[in-house]
Amino acid sequence: MRAYYYDNLSGDQRLPHDLSPSRSVSKERLQALNVKIWTFSVDQYEGPLDAVAKQEGYTDRDTMVVSRDTLGAAYDGKIKFMFDEHLHDEEEARFIISGSGYYDVRETPSEEWIRIVFGPGDLISLPVGIYHRLTPDEANYIEALRLFRKRRATEMLETSLAEMAQLQQEKQEYEAKRDQLNIELHATEQKIIELQSKWGAIHNAMSAPVLELPNEITCMIFDHALVLSVRMAEDLAMMDAEAKLPPEMEVVISHVCHQWRSIALSYPQLWSHFCYDVMRSPLVPLERFDAYLDRSQSTGLELWFNFKGTYGEIEGVLTLLEKAVPHFARWRRFTLMADAETNVLSVLGPIFKKPVLAPMLEHFAICPSIDIDDQEIKKLEPMTFRKGAPNLRSVMLDLSGAVTFFPPINNLTTLRLEDPDQYGNARFSWPVFRDLLSLKSLVNLSIMMDAAFHKSEFKSDKGPPIAMDNLKNLRIANFDLLVMLLLFIRAPLLESLTMKELEFPRNFSTSAPGGGKSSNSPHSFPSIKYLCFINIEAETPAARHFAKMTPNATEITFSNGDYSESFFHAVASTAGAKEREKMWPKLRVINFNMEADSLDELLRLAKGRPKKDPITLRLFDDVNEMFRLGDFSSSARYEQLAKAYHIETINSQRNWLRQVRWPPASELGDVGLFADLCDPFNIDDYDE
């Protein structure tokens, strides 16, 4: 027998789970916990075991076998059950005939687990009330004798009869109380009906003005209430992911009064939006979806499905999708997110392989997270809606969605290629990716992929610049070569640029067309007003060069990452006050969300700026406290910062820097009713 403290690491319960170095537990410590252990020869155990049984009062025994042969398919569930922490109101005594495993007992008062290794010949007795658990080791076999104490049959019978009589008496008392409560409940319900009738008569006599509005105005009120309720639910979910959401507004509206219900049920637009998020409501509302499909009649549908987290285990999610597919001609906005285990391809594949037309489709987002390996997208040919989607303006795809469900993109204004989890290693060929960037109608582009295209195909010194004449909003992440693309695209209308998890190459300032000459007079994005750097690394020459490319920026966000290697540190470390003054001369706002080593760089960046109209420095409340009270700062130093900037704090509980809806609504017109709160470009408040 051997005992030691359990390492509390996750993993197979049948492994030793011994600390390194091991912390042994003595037999005396086990005895202090009233854990008794004897060891006999397994070949001649009957006599010694009988003696101990007589001494301890164990009068009964039986045999138990835990193995895959005896339990079959139930084995894994059985050993998991045995390993759940539990206790008994009688001693637990086991003699091991063959096999091996572990008893874990909870030490008091430390609450640590002590693991006892047992094998053939060991007799272990656990006291009443001790928390414990049991498991075989990797050999997956235990044969043991279970030993019990047994009370006299007459004593047990007398106790049982007395307890039964007491329980019967209590049962009759509660039945009498229940009957009385039922009488009172019936009388109360009748009174409620009477009062409701009187209230309704008075209310109808008053002729509520809202009920006299034309149906068209009432429907406009319904629309406004629906949008407002979804936005409020989003705000609530952002503040508390576990918060219970209110019921759907369309359902509430249809239960206010008879007149509103009549109007609501005859207003198809009210029922044309349907959202199912498995993480917030695991019950699949199949019947409710049927009602929405029926009540929306022929109106275009906005369908939003998030099956991520089901892992193929929640019944009904594919049935929900099967009900939606036949109505594809009515899809106006369709969003589907899933994990690989939820086989959405089995439902969508048959219909999407057919040459069908999607006449109403405006937005198509599909991220099925299918494992795609060694595939390359070499053509921009639609794989879905091959007869066309003339109104399609917005598309969001992960890599598996791009490989499997690529839609028509002739008229796109918004394209999001985002795969933060990166399933497989599929990618675009560089010529195809260049064609994507060259889409004339593109206004909003978001790319988050580990390898959007083959690095070997990208030749920075060949080919003309890529004209993106209508692009206004750009986001890039995860693939460093995307930074180099900034040197080769021409986007005169670009207003906002967000970058995340990227590193500016050392040769950034010398890699533009024309080589090193470009570093003195680089091409610029003249319309950029907003820049956002999320965990962006750069050295000073590259940072200085990029600042020259974005001279008219008025608001910049610096967030996350290693401060000493960050873009902010590089650009603020630029030598010479005059050169720093020339960088972003129109800068009005800095959103700062980093763990700084000092306040020097922030003070240096503000030096030479007009004091009458200082830059606004926005800090999350916890970052502001770090600056004010941090070890590297002092009250005098913080006061200098407060004089150099106009400081505003951002409430971490209401973080409006989160990009819940992208692109901005003004750029897309109808952005839809529902949004994914887990946008991969979200900016979370600084967390130590």
d(CA 405, CA 335): 12
d(CA 573, CA 603): 11
d(CA 536, CA 477): 9
Burial label, 614 (beta-carbon count in 10 A; 0-12, 13-18, 19+): middle
Where helices occur in 207-316 by DSSP H, the ranges are 215-239, 249-253, 258-265, 286-295
Q: Taking the CB of residue 469, how many other CB atoms lie within 10 A of it?
A: 12
Under 8 Å between Cβ of 342 and 370: no
| Bridge partner residues of 616 (DSSP) | 589, 646
Q: Taking the CB of residue 479, how many other CB atoms lie within 10 A of it?
A: 19
Place of tokens 């414990």: 132
Tell whether residue 112 is among the known ligand binding residues: no
Distance of CA 251 to the CA centre of its chain: 27
Place of tokens 């086991």: 94
DSSP3 helix / strand / coil % (the chain, rounded to 5)? 35, 20, 40
Place of tokens 């009210």: 270
Tell whether residue 92 is among the known ligand binding residues: yes
d(CA 229, CA 248): 8
Distance of CA 541 to the CA centre of its chain: 37
Nearest alpha-carbon partner for 277 in 285, 268, 266: 285
d(CA 2, CA 118): 7
Tell whether residue 255 is among the known ligand binding residues: no
**Mapping DSSP to helix (H, G, I), strand (E, B) and coil, where does residue 66 land?**
strand
**Mapping DSSP to helix (H, G, I), strand (E, B) and coil, where does residue 447 land?**
strand
The phi and psi torsions of 510 (rounded to 5 degrees) equal: -120, 10
Structure tokens at 85: 């922490």
Q: Which amino acid is at 344?
A: V
d(CA 139, CA 227): 60
Tell whether residue 545 is among the known ligand binding residues: no
d(CA 280, CA 676): 12
For residue 124, give the H/E element and its range: strand 122-126
Under 8 Å between Cβ of 655 and 669: no
**Mapping DSSP to helix (H, G, I), strand (E, B) and coil, where does residue 574 land?**
coil
DSSP 602-640: HHHHHTTS-SSSPPEEEEEHHHHHHHHH-TT--HHHHHH
Q: How far apart are the first and last CA of the chain?
A: 45
Strand duo 132-136 + 101-106: pairing: antiparallel
d(CA 532, CA 523): 20
DSSP 537-563: E--HHHHHHHHHH-TT--EEEEESS-G
d(CA 637, CA 631): 11
Structure tokens at 665: 């609504």
Binding residues for Ni(2+): 86, 88, 92, 132
Binding region for Fe(2+): 86, 88, 92, 132
Q: Summarize the annotated binding site as residue ranges.
A: 86, 88, 92, 132
